[in-house]
Structure 1
Amino acid sequence: MVTMKVYIDTEGFCWIVNGLNKALEYEWGKIHKVSLKKTKKFPYEVYVPIQIIGQFVKKNETTINLYKLQQLNKESV
């Protein structure tokens, strides 16, 4: 699986961890904004599958689809 490095804030990091641990069930279309560069607002580095990367919002910012990440996690188990 091809991955991409993105930077995420604390809230987004918690959303990803809880989704992968199956503590939360995301509804269809749940997205979260991430950065392509490390900034004060986005301090945490994560590698996500390229399939969940969405459209570019601003320069160096994009979105990730948390629902699709959860579906990929279910398929891989």
Structure 2
Amino acid sequence: MVTMTVYVNTDVFCWIVNTLNKSITHEWGTKSLKAVSLKKHKKYPHEIQVPIQIIGQFYKRDMTTIDLFKLQELNNLKKD
């Protein structure tokens, strides 16, 4: 699986961990997009590797979104 390095804040990091642990489930059509950075800042100190399939639109310079619903689907496919 192809991955990409992104930088996240603590809130988004917790959302990702809870999604992967299946503590939180996301429904299709709900707002499950979270903002991430492509460069390390004070606001985005945590570096993570995410599958390229969950990367969304680039909406600002060096900023993009990740889709937690797609991450949940990929996680379910991997474990089945």
Question: Normalising TM by the smaller chain, what interval?
Answer: over 0.9
Q: Displacement, 1:26?
A: 1.2
1:39 partnered with 2:47: no
Runs ≥4 in structure 1, deviation > 6 angstroms?
Answer: none
| Cα distance per residue 1:50-71 (max 9 Å; x no partner) | 0000000100000000000000
Query: Could you list the per-position Cα deviations for residues 12-59 of structure 1 after superposition, in whole angstroms to 9, with x for gaps in the alignment?
Result: 000000000010101224110000000011000000000000000100
Q: Which residue of 1 aligns with 2:18?
A: 18
Rounded to whole Å, the distance in 1 between the matches of 2:44 and 2:28 is: 24
Which amino acid in structure 2 is aligned with residue 33 of structure 1? Answer: A
In structure 1, distance between residues paired with 2:27 and 2:11:
17
Instruction: Show the counterpart of 1:3.
Output: 3
**Identity in percent:** 61
**Count of residues in correspondence between the two structures:** 77
* Structure 2 gaps, min length 5: none
- The residue identity in structure 1 corresponding to 2:22 is K
Question: Equivalents in 2 of 1:44, 1:22: separation in Å?
Answer: 21
1-structure distance, mates of 2:59, 2:9? 16
TM-score, normalised with respect to structure 1: 0.97
Separation in 2, partners of 1:19, 1:60? 24
